[in-house]
Amino acid sequence: MTQEKAPKAYKNMDFLNSREARALRILSEYLEPEKRLREMNIMHTVVFFGSARIRPDDLRTGKYYTAAEELAYRLAKLGKSMERRKRGFHICTGGGPGIMEAANRGAHRAGAKTIGLNISLPFEQEPNRYISPELNFEFHYFFMRKLWFLYNAKALVVFPGGFGTLDELFEALTLRQTDKIHDKSMPILLYDRSYWESLMCFDKMVELGFVLPEEMRLIHFFDTPEEGMRYLKGRLEKGITAFSHSFHL
């Protein structure tokens, strides 16, 4: 009597979810998004960060939702127009509610495909309905999700938020400061100067020598979608064109 065949290692779910297979899970969160994005011909993104707790009807913070949606809408229209010249880009968010939903919603309103990089959390993280289904991702590892936020990013737009937003902002600033991002001119925009300057004293870091004055130029503050659009339009076109030329060398 023959014995039942054992499952192949790559079909053994007990093994794949074990500590020993962690490297395979990490590698999967690199290779699977890469394959999907390449198949969709997505090479460039504009990434929106901001609080998941913002709601459009909130009297204090709803204005941020409205501004993020409008800016994403305008940027998505620009991305679509550049796509005809093979220089397009897509709006990318963390996929959840709040500012993430607002940006995906704006891109969806423009008729553009839009990306959501979700992560499994105990609360506040469910994919919003405006993500393009084929570009809806779910991560386990924060660091792999962060890699995909920045890997294709040609600009970051950061709206007010809490610990998670600060984590994403300062990691991006550190990578720009240390030239660890391929696009060494990638803009980092902060919406609502009064919020950010009331939250932290950037001048104090410069005064004490913790940050060089020229490093503060990594940040650009803006207060309206129109202002953000004016700042980004030419920079995105220039940055993506430069990348495309270097990519084909």
pLDDT score for 236: 95
pLDDT score for 243: 77
Give the 3-state secondary structure of residue 42: coil
Is the pLDDT at 74 greater than 60? The verdict is yes
The Cβ of residue 1 has, within 10 Å, a number of other Cβ atoms equal to 2
In CATH, the architecture of 43-247 is 3-Layer(aba) Sandwich (3.40)
Query: Ranked by mean pLDDT, which of 6-10, 76-80, 83-87, 119-123 comes out on top?
Result: 76-80
Asked if residue 79 lies in contact with residue 61, where contact means CB atoms within 8 angstroms, the answer is no
- pTM reported for the whole predicted model: 0.92
Asked if residue 147 lies in contact with residue 119, where contact means CB atoms within 8 angstroms, the answer is no
pLDDT score for 248: 45
pLDDT score for 121: 82
CA distance 73 to 106: 4
Asked if residue 111 lies in contact with residue 13, where contact means CB atoms within 8 angstroms, the answer is no
pLDDT in tens, 51-61: 999 999 999 99
Is the pLDDT at 85 greater than 80? The verdict is no
Among 248, 237, 117, residue whose Cα is nearest residue 185: 237
CA atoms within 13 A on the CB side of 121: 16
pLDDT in tens, 169-218: 999 999 999 999 877 789 999 999 999 999 999 999 999 999 999 999 99
pLDDT score for 241: 86
Domain limits, the chain: 43-247
Mean pLDDT of 147-151: 96
pLDDT score for 249: 39
Among 99, 100, 85, 94, residue whose Cα is nearest residue 119: 94
